[in-house]
Amino acid sequence: KRQGVNYVFKVVNDIAVRIPVKVGAKDGQKIEILEGLEEGDVVIISGQHRLYDGQSVKSEEASNHEQDI
């Protein structure tokens, strides 16, 4: 959350893109995303606190962390 807006970083062509999202239910470990992402979008789930919008990133397969959206 930055400046009152919830967001995630989505990977687009090896670039981190900050996307505003609308969140729903939270259970302490998971957060429901109601708006802002599409099925199949790749999001950054680790190290995002060090990212900035437009930063070049290298994707890794996250088999242990994959979540359905």
What tens-digit pLDDT sequence spans the chain (69 residues)?
666 889 999 999 999 999 999 999 999 888 899 999 999 999 998 888 889 999 999 877 655 555 554
pTM (global) more than 0.95: no
Which residue in 23, 22, 21, 12 sits closest to 53, CA to CA? Answer: 12
- Residue-level pLDDT at 49: 84
- Residue-level pLDDT at 2: 63
CA gap 39, 57 in Å, rounded: 21
- Three-class SS of residue 32? strand
CA gap 27, 50 in Å, rounded: 25
What 8-state DSSP symbol labels residue 30?
-
- Residue-level pLDDT at 60: 72
Q: Which residue type, as a one-letter code, is found at position 11?
A: V
